[in-house]
Chains A and B, each alone.
Chain A
Amino acid sequence: MRVSTHQAFLTGLQGLLDGQSNVTRLQEQIATGKRVDTPGDDPIAAPQIIALNRQIELIDQYNKNADTAINRLQLEESTLGSIENTLQRVRELTVQAGDGALDLLSRKAISTELQQRVEELLGLVNTRGVDNEYLFSGYQADTPPFARNASGGFNYQGDEGQLFLPIATDLNVAVNDSGKALFVDIPIPNNFTLQAAPGNGGTGVAQNPVVTNQAAYDAFSPDTAVITFTSATTYSVTRASDGVPINGGSPPQPLTNIAYTPGGDITFEGMHLQVSGTPVAGDIFTTVNAVPQKLDMLAIVEQLAQGLDDSSASSVQRDGLISDALLSLDNVMASITQTTAHIGSRLNSIENVQQSNEEIKLISQNTLSKVQDLDYTEAISLLTQSSFVLQAAQQSYVAISNLSLFNFIR
């Protein structure tokens, strides 16, 4: 084929330019370490790279959230631990106060310490977190969860909200618990009151109802007892539901036509009461089962302290107070333990999720590296080859440009 001189030089020149461009491109790849710089470099790998980068970023974000969640939960856990310790001390004091040999002064000392413990518990439930937000107020983290009520007791000022953090797609974990779920609405043991029938003629008064055996009383209720004075000096106690006489007293005997002693103890089915005054035949007194009540933790301890302080209480009433308090404290501890268990399992699942996230991230990073990163061995050997080709093009250009017939026509 005939080749024009101009074309010959052009071809040689093009070879030089192409060689240079190849070498430059390889140089750039080696310098950045990346095989794919923009989607135009490899449109098939590009969407893979984008997707992998996005997944890795998302996992990093979820792990950050998980760390935050762990911090919050651990703070809550340790605060609850302090509260449990204080409650243990309260329990010891309560048991101590149940010792019948204590005198008024000793009981007052216990009551004083119990009041201090109430203040301590108030401080603990109003604990603040990292951003000075109240831990146990639910959504209303700027408001202290518990505050003293002017007319006695405590008000819960927060709500039942919980904060959830996303630790994986479609997986949110709660990082706090409201004070309402933990410390408010603690069931306290059931009690009863006494009622005189409206048509009573005498001056008898029924008073001082105390539950002496919670299990027996809980078994007896919802039934109620009717104390009927068969004469001015005898009374019978029957079940309101069917009129069957109830056994009571010590030693236990059917309470039918028992001799009446004004101010004497009448005991049956775990219940204890006294009648004083002068009833007449036909007077009726009934027990009334109180509506099941709930109190918050602080009120329970405070009422215990105030009850111990009351010098007018009988020893039976004190015993009732102590046994009620112990049962209530058990309920408080149960509520706290339940939440602590929840926290434990949440921490567990966060740890599991974090671990699996890390594994996914590692796999993604490996894949990303395979797709995007340069294989240095391959690239450097290509660079060597391209440099060689460029060199050859340069040398051949010089050699060919010297060939001309004009050199020989002199």
Chain B
Amino acid sequence: MTELLNIGLSGLNSSRIALSVTGQNVTNVNNEGYTRQSAELVTRNPEFTGGFYLGTGVEVETVRRITSEFLIAGARSDTSVFAGAETFSTLMDQLDQLFSDANSGLAGNLSSFFSSLQTAVDDPASIEARQVFLSSAEGLAQKFNSLHTQLQGLQRDINLQVDAVAGQVSAYTREIAGLNQQIGIATNTGSNPNDLLDKRDQALRDLAELVSINVIPTDNNGVTVSIGNGQPLVVGSESFELITIANPNNPAVRDLAIRSSAGSISPVGSGISGGMLGGLIGIKEGVINNALNNLGRVALGVSGAMNEAHNLGMDLEGNLGGDLFTDINNATSVSNRTIANGNNSVPQDQVVSVLISDVNQLSTSDYRLDFTAANTYVLTRISDGLSNTALDPSLTGVLGALPATVTVDGLTLNLDRPSGAFSAGDRFLIQPTRAFADEINTQVSRAQELALASPVRTITGSNNTGTASISSGQVTDTGSASFTTAPGQLSPPVLIRFTSSTSYEVLDNSNPSSPTVLLAAQPYPPVSPNGILPASYGYQVDISGTPATGDSFNINYNSGGVLDNRSGLAMVAIQSTDTLGGGKMTLESAYGVFTQEVGTRTSTARNNLEASKALLEQSQSMLQSVAGVNLDEEAARLVEFEQAYNASAQVINVARTIFDTLLSAVRG
């Protein structure tokens, strides 16, 4: 009977345990991190009695965790990809909105800038039209400034988020290390600590949402966690922290690094990918910097082209135009373009001054200038990695004596060092277009100071008998002596007199009653356009037709020329001129190309998000199909084990009955 009793008891026990396990599964049905458990029943060791083996019942060997490590790893890596795609896509949507929105984008400002310019050019004497244009110009400059500020603000926010996420990563690594220890201890007692394992898997999954990780199982149910390039985050019960440090090349930039418990810091470099961190860094380094550079290049285009035309013009008060926008090579801008590495050789008096000599040739990339020896350098364009002769045949990599000049992509680098030559290891980061959208401002505020006219005009001699006519005059350089010697005057006013129909002389007409000869016996070129005056004068005229002997033409300063829009017409023409991208894009289309790039990346990001979401759903569903709890299944199990329990109880009942029968038989 005792065997029967024990057998029955064992059945009762096992069923009870199985029921508990089922109950555990049922109550955890909605716990996402829970893997279903199942009680493993095995027969107890048989007894050898009387020549045969008699079974001794059933027992629970272990409570098994039903899951698949392969599917867990798959779901984890898909989580990283999805979290990264989601973060990236959300931020790209923000940027897409910022740049293309009719109200907040730049395109509207550019358009109204040019259309108000056309209105002022239509009526150059009108003060109101000039004022409207100047307001529009100021609005444009302010829009550049505000877009730049918004982008920088976004960058700052992302940096803060990176800091926060790095802190969270550190918290998770600590948790995982702790769980590793606990699981190790528990495993030593002989069985799998199922709930601790679930907890660790959940922590790993949360960590994977933040950054892509590699998880390698070690002995004693431990795991080693590392990021992309093998740098460890968790080794056994030791955890590493993720922190941010200043970038040595550019102190304004913060990089990620791993700090061990001993305190040693190693930069992560490009090892971060996936997860929120991957998305944030992708935006910060790949998209926002590019956006700032693009914006800066358009601002440089506006300022450069407009200033060039405005400088050749004359305003309502008879003064030369000067700059309309901030000069692209002003001292502050130039000094902002170069960032010297903090570890450069002392004394740190190296001068790398970056001037923009041709806006049309500018790229949107940053550059690196590294010195490998005193007069050998490597100049690299960061966007495509080309350097020295691969970048431009003129970059030999060898410098002559200082001061020296290097030119590339529309930039002129003036290199000098008062204390001698450069040293090997000197490094410089060059950001030619990064900051200008913040630096651009209007320089003209009074309507009368807008230079729409040209400072020279021509007069045909009253007594001319030939058929020659003269163009209205074109200014090429207001820095020449003709204009600078005495403001408001042409120095000197010029008379062109034909000594025959094929030759002329150029005279100084300061005293009209006695002009003095400046250039005698100039041949009159028969085909127009002809360079009548020397280039040094700073202005040029065209004469066409057949002059007679004695025909004369005057060239004077255009005092009182208020209904003159020649310089304004040149500024209007900028709208349809290809001023950027190596002569391939107008200002507006350069901005358009950039917003379209943003749009394409946004659309790609959205597609990636959809795809990664679908993959994640699929891997999650596959994992759940193995490890998830199915209530119907557990309900069936409940019925099964309850019946088994009842049956075992009945066995005990029978054992008791036979015992009673035996007792009553013995008692007599």
Task: Give Cα distance in the complex from A61 to B121, angstroms.
Answer: 12
Nearest chain B residue, comparing its CB with the CB of A169? B576
Instruction: Verify if B514 is at the interface (C-beta below 8 Å from A).
Output: no
Q: Which one of A14, A50, A143, A176 contacts B592 once the chains associate, using CB atoms below 8 Å?
A: A50
B520 contacts which chain A residues (CB < 8 A)? none
Q: Which one of B29, B562, B617, B632 contacts A6 once the chains associate, using CB atoms below 8 Å?
A: B29
- CB distance A61 to B625 under 8 Å? no
Nearest chain B residue, comparing its CB with the CB of A65? B122
What 1/0 mask marks residues of chain B from 481 to 493 whose CB sits below 8 Å from any chain A CB? 0000000000000
Restricting to B123-142, which residues have a CB under 8 Å from any CB of A?
A: 123-126
Decide: A184 near B457, CB < 8 A? Known: A133-B563, A405-B631: no
Task: Give Cα distance in the complex from A162 to B617, angstroms.
Answer: 72
- CB distance A4 to B600 under 8 Å? no
Question: How close is B25's CB to chain A, nearest CB, in angstroms?
Answer: 10
- CB distance B599 to A38 under 8 Å? yes
- CB distance A5 to B111 under 8 Å? no
Task: Give Cα distance in the complex from A180 to B625, angstroms.
Answer: 95
- CB distance A39 to B563 under 8 Å? no
Question: How close is A84's CB to chain B, nearest CB, in angstroms?
Answer: 23
- CB distance B118 to A160 under 8 Å? no
- CB distance B118 to A163 under 8 Å? no
- CB distance A64 to B119 under 8 Å? yes
B592 contacts which chain A residues (CB < 8 A)? 47, 50-51, 54
Nearest chain B residue, comparing its CB with the CB of A62? B118
A166 contacts which chain B residues (CB < 8 A)? 118, 121, 569, 572-573
Decide: A4 near B599, CB < 8 A? Known: A54-B588, A185-B462, A294-B463: no
Instruction: Verify if A138 is at the interface (C-beta below 8 Å from B).
Output: yes
Question: How close is B553's CB to chain A, nearest CB, in angstroms?
Answer: 10
Task: Give Cα distance in the complex from A166 to B566, angstroms.
Answer: 11
Task: Give Cα distance in the complex from A291 to B463, angstroms.
Answer: 10
How many interface residues does chain B have, given as a range? 35 or more
Nearest chain B residue, comparing its CB with the CB of A164? B569
Nearest chain B residue, comparing its CB with the CB of A43? B600
Restricting to B626-668, which residues have a CB under 8 Å from any CB of A?
A: 626-632, 635-636, 638-639
- CB distance A2 to B630 under 8 Å? yes
- CB distance B564 to A161 under 8 Å? yes
What 1/0 mask marks residues of chain A from 112 to 147 whose CB sits below 8 Å from any chain B CB? 000000000000000000010100011111110000
- CB distance B126 to A43 under 8 Å? no
Q: Which one of A46, A57, A405 contacts B636 once the chains associate, using CB atoms below 8 Å?
A: A405
Instruction: Verify if B93 is at the interface (C-beta below 8 Å from A).
Output: yes
Instruction: Verify if A404 is at the interface (C-beta below 8 Å from B).
Output: yes
B589 contacts which chain A residues (CB < 8 A)? 51, 54
Restricting to B569-620, which residues have a CB under 8 Å from any CB of A?
A: 569, 572-573, 575-576, 588-589, 592-593, 595-596, 598-600, 602-603, 606, 617, 620
Task: Give Cα distance in the complex from A4 to B119, angstroms.
Answer: 70
Task: Give Cα distance in the complex from A61 to B575, angstroms.
Answer: 12
Instruction: Verify if B402 is at the interface (C-beta below 8 Å from A).
Output: no
- CB distance A406 to B635 under 8 Å? yes
Instruction: Verify if A1 is at the interface (C-beta below 8 Å from B).
Output: yes
Question: How close is B300's CB to chain A, nearest CB, in angstroms?
Answer: 21
Decide: A163 near B606, CB < 8 A? Known: A6-B29, A46-B596, A143-B560: no
What 1/0 mask marks residues of chain B from 80 to 124 whose CB sits below 8 Å from any chain A CB? 000000000000110011001100000100010011001101111
What 1/0 mask marks residues of chain A from 169 to 207 whose CB sits below 8 Å from any chain B CB? 110100010001000110000000000000000000000
Question: How close is B292's CB to chain A, nearest CB, in angstroms?
Answer: 19
Q: Which one of B114, B457, B606, B639 contacts A159 once the chains associate, using CB atoms below 8 Å?
A: B457
Nearest chain A residue, comparing its CB with the CB of B29? A5
- CB distance B563 to A138 under 8 Å? yes
Restricting to B428-480, which residues have a CB under 8 Å from any CB of A?
A: 453, 457-460, 462-463, 465, 472
Instruction: Verify if A28 is at the interface (C-beta below 8 Å from B).
Output: no
Q: Which one of A4, A68, A184, A292 contacts B630 once the chains associate, using CB atoms below 8 Å?
A: A4
Task: Give Cα distance in the complex from A2 to B114, angstroms.
Answer: 66
Task: Give Cα distance in the complex from A61 to B118, angstroms.
Answer: 7
Instruction: Verify if A378 is at the interface (C-beta below 8 Å from B).
Output: no
Nearest chain B residue, comparing its CB with the CB of A60? B115
B101 contacts which chain A residues (CB < 8 A)? 38
Decide: A40 near B630, CB < 8 A? Known: A61-B118, A139-B562, A162-B472: no
| Residues of B contacting A: mostly | helix
Task: Give Cα distance in the complex from A294 to B465, angstroms.
Answer: 10
A57 contacts which chain B residues (CB < 8 A)? 111, 115
Decide: A142 near B562, CB < 8 A? Known: A14-B617, A47-B592: yes
Instruction: Verify if A150 is at the interface (C-beta below 8 Å from B).
Output: no
Q: Which one of B123, B463, B561, B621 contacts A140 once the chains associate, using CB atoms below 8 Å?
A: B561
Task: Give Cα distance in the complex from A194 to B648, angstroms.
Answer: 158
B3 contacts which chain A residues (CB < 8 A)? none
Nearest chain B residue, comparing its CB with the CB of A42? B603
Decide: A294 near B462, CB < 8 A? Known: A39-B602, A43-B600: yes
Nearest chain B residue, comparing its CB with the CB of A172? B569
Nearest chain A residue, comparing its CB with the CB of B457? A159
Instruction: Verify if B364 is at the interface (C-beta below 8 Å from A).
Output: no
- CB distance B118 to A65 under 8 Å? yes
Question: How close is A299's CB to chain B, nearest CB, in angstroms?
Answer: 12
Q: Which one of A43, A141, A165, A405 contacts B599 once the chains associate, using CB atoms below 8 Å?
A: A43
Task: Give Cα distance in the complex from A14 to B613, angstroms.
Answer: 11
- CB distance A161 to B29 under 8 Å? no
- CB distance B562 to A38 under 8 Å? no
Instruction: Verify if B40 is at the interface (C-beta below 8 Å from A).
Output: no
Task: Give Cα distance in the complex from A133 to B129, angstroms.
Answer: 15
- CB distance B460 to A160 under 8 Å? yes
- CB distance B100 to A38 under 8 Å? yes
Task: Give Cα distance in the complex from A138 to B565, angstroms.
Answer: 11
- CB distance B564 to A139 under 8 Å? yes
Task: Give Cα distance in the complex from A257 to B557, angstroms.
Answer: 61
What 1/0 mask marks residues of chain A from 9 to 21 whose CB sits below 8 Å from any chain B CB? 0110010000000
Instruction: Verify if B624 is at the interface (C-beta below 8 Å from A).
Output: yes
B338 contacts which chain A residues (CB < 8 A)? none
Task: Give Cα distance in the complex from A185 to B462, angstroms.
Answer: 6
Question: How close is A125's CB to chain B, nearest CB, in angstroms?
Answer: 16
B566 contacts which chain A residues (CB < 8 A)? 164
Instruction: Verify if B32 is at the interface (C-beta below 8 Å from A).
Output: yes
Instruction: Verify if A315 is at the interface (C-beta below 8 Å from B).
Output: no
Instruction: Verify if A7 is at the interface (C-beta below 8 Å from B).
Output: yes
Q: Which one of A160, A164, A170, A176 contacts B457 once the chains associate, using CB atoms below 8 Å?
A: A160
Instruction: Verify if A103 is at the interface (C-beta below 8 Å from B).
Output: no
Nearest chain B residue, comparing its CB with the CB of A47? B596
Instruction: Verify if A3 is at the interface (C-beta below 8 Å from B).
Output: yes
Instruction: Verify if A409 is at the interface (C-beta below 8 Å from B).
Output: yes
Instruction: Verify if B509 is at the interface (C-beta below 8 Å from A).
Output: no
- CB distance B472 to A161 under 8 Å? yes
- CB distance B29 to A139 under 8 Å? no
Question: How close is B2's CB to chain A, nearest CB, in angstroms?
Answer: 36
Task: Give Cα distance in the complex from A159 to B557, angstroms.
Answer: 11
- CB distance B621 to A2 under 8 Å? no
- CB distance B630 to A39 under 8 Å? no
A242 contacts which chain B residues (CB < 8 A)? none
Decide: A7 near B621, CB < 8 A? Known: A38-B97, A38-B101, A159-B561: yes
Chain B residues packing against A (C-beta within 8 Å): 29-30, 32, 92-93, 96-97, 100-101, 107, 111, 114-115, 118-119, 121-126, 453, 457-460, 462-463, 465, 472, 558-566, 569, 572-573, 575-576, 588-589, 592-593, 595-596, 598-600, 602-603, 606, 617, 620-621, 624-632, 635-636, 638-639
Q: Which 3 A-B pairs have the closest CB atoms?
A: A4-B628, A39-B599, A40-B602
Chain A residues packing against B (C-beta within 8 Å): 1-7, 10-11, 14, 38-43, 46-47, 50-51, 54, 57-58, 61, 64-65, 68, 131, 133, 137-143, 159-166, 169-170, 172, 176, 180, 184-185, 291-292, 294, 404-406, 409
Q: List 5 A-B contacts (CB under 8 A).
A: A3-B621, A42-B603, A50-B596, A139-B561, A294-B462
Additional A-B contacts beyond A3-B630, A159-B457, A405-B632 (17; CB < 8 A): A4-B627, A5-B632, A7-B624, A7-B628, A39-B602, A40-B603, A41-B599, A50-B592, A61-B115, A68-B122, A159-B459, A161-B472, A164-B565, A164-B569, A166-B569, A292-B465, A405-B636
